[in-house]
Amino acid sequence: MTTATLEPTAEVNSHPPKPTMKALVYRTSGKGSGRPSWEDQPHPTIQHPEDAIVKITTTTICGTDLHILKGDLPAVTDGRILGHEGIGIIEKAGSGVSSFKAGDKVIISCVTACMKCDFCRKGMLSHCRHGGWILGNLINGTQAEYVRIPYADGSLYHFPKGGDEEAMVMLSDALPTGFECGVLNGEVKPGETVAIVGAGPVGLAVLLTAQFYSPAVIYVIDLDDNRLAIAKKFGATTVINSSDGNAVETIMKLTNGEGVDVAIEAVGIAATFDICQDIVGAGGRLANVGVHGKPVSLQLERLWDRNIALTTRLVDTVTLPMLLKVVLSGKVEPAKLITHRFELQDILKAYETFGNAAREHALKVVLTNT
């Protein structure tokens, strides 16, 4: 998001002095990793007519937030409020916001979208010329009492009557990421054989949403037996612990040497990508969901004649309205991904739990601001 498009306009700047608020701030010396800090921060204000200020009622922590703390995303600088998921209530809407007004309860998309640029018109909101993933990244995010949401009309969704807040906060990022990057890009079809490599929150979101299309077989591969047990409960037909190095062999045996129709990478490292390219069958699809930090070796000498498609995607959250309908219909229960709950003021404890996910048996941790 260029500063030009966010330049304050005279019209909206006549704000009274605001009280401060509490927020989870990324503190770093700028060299390598940083730490989360729960601090007073200025209450956000409307900076542009299309902005809205949202009082957060529920938020959560994403694996990406941990990457930020490790220093993996250098664009995130000292002082940034983290967080890109949340439910809240509109405190104030700018004069250019037409679909929302103060008091409306909303789901915040992790993607900020102007809805007018060429990418937004193509449905690639993640690449919005004026937005994309900026919350808790290039601008302050949702792990706070209040957050400013630019392009509110394109970036917020009305919270549905009768909706469950814990289920709905999974629509900010986790469920659409699994669905769009994994299931839609993987073109999962009834009767097919799907393999999901990685059973973290996103891999499990793939698992839950893959079942919208009734594949006959879903393999889930991970190193953690606890997560595999959850995968089994969530609908995996077979789970495979890959710590013995035999996952590829096992799947090739189970598929009579054919490989799978869809292999979904939900980790973000070379080892799991390699499993995917080893097991994808002729005519199959390899959908990458994981965030990768390094190049991988693509076995084109073997794959060039296998009629496969390999896809990448940053979540666009264009399916959020569809997913909302499916959640409301009871066909999927995303709140099942939630293992731990905290008050927002205890977010440092929540980070500690989430940061030791394996030991804590943690998937998604939810924070409530009451």
Q: How far, CA to CA in Å, does 230 sit from each of 147, 200, 280, 333, 363?
A: 33, 10, 24, 14, 10
- The yes or no reply on residue 53 touching a copy of itself (CB under 8 A) is no
- State the Cα–Cα distance between residues 358 and 138, nearest whole angstrom: 29
Which string of x and - marks every residue 96-125 that binds a copy of itself (by CB under 8 A)? x-xx--------------xxx-xxxxxxx-
- The yes or no reply on residue 162 touching a copy of itself (CB under 8 A) is no
Structure tokens that stand for 143 in this block: 């792990």
What does the angle CA 172 – CA 178 – CA 184 come to, to the nearest 5 degrees? Answer: 115
Exactly one of 39, 328, 345, 355 binds a copy of itself (CB under 8 A); which one? 328
Q: How far, CA to CA in Å, does 53 sit from each of 7, 130, 247, 345?
A: 16, 18, 48, 20
Q: Are 283 and 308 in contact (CB under 8 A)?
A: yes
- Write out the binding residues for a copy of itself, residues 191-220 only, by CB under 8 A: 191-192, 211-217
User: Which strand (E) or helix (H) includes residue 6?
Assistant: helix 3-6
Exactly one of 37, 243, 307, 356 binds a copy of itself (CB under 8 A); which one? 307
Quote the least distance from Cβ 209 to a copy of itself, whole Å. Answer: 8
Q: Which residue has the tokens 């490790």?
A: 70
Centre a 10 Å sphere on the Cβ of residue 368 and count the other Cβ atoms it contains.
Answer: 18
- Write out the binding residues for a copy of itself, residues 241-270 only, by CB under 8 A: 268
Alpha helices per DSSP H over 308-361: 320-328, 347-355, 357-360
- The yes or no reply on residue 296 touching a copy of itself (CB under 8 A) is yes
The contacts of residue 121 (CB under 8 Å, 6+ apart) are none
- The yes or no reply on residue 49 touching a copy of itself (CB under 8 A) is yes
Q: Are 56 and 157 in contact (CB under 8 A)?
A: no
- The yes or no reply on residue 238 touching a copy of itself (CB under 8 A) is no
- The yes or no reply on residue 2 touching a copy of itself (CB under 8 A) is no
Quote the least distance from Cβ 356 to a copy of itself, whole Å. Answer: 26
Size of the site for a copy of itself (CB under 8 A): 77
Q: Are 195 and 250 in contact (CB under 8 A)?
A: no
Stretch that binds a copy of itself, among 32-40, 62-70, 102-110, 299-307 (CB under 8 A): 299-307
- The yes or no reply on residue 189 touching a copy of itself (CB under 8 A) is yes
Q: Are 236 and 218 in contact (CB under 8 A)?
A: yes
- The yes or no reply on residue 323 touching a copy of itself (CB under 8 A) is yes
- The yes or no reply on residue 331 touching a copy of itself (CB under 8 A) is yes
Exactly one of 298, 348, 356, 358 binds a copy of itself (CB under 8 A); which one? 298
Of 211 and 369, CB closest to a copy of itself: 211
- The yes or no reply on residue 13 touching a copy of itself (CB under 8 A) is no
- The yes or no reply on residue 282 touching a copy of itself (CB under 8 A) is yes
Structure tokens that stand for 282 in this block: 């002729």
- Write out the binding residues for a copy of itself, residues 55-94 only, by CB under 8 A: none
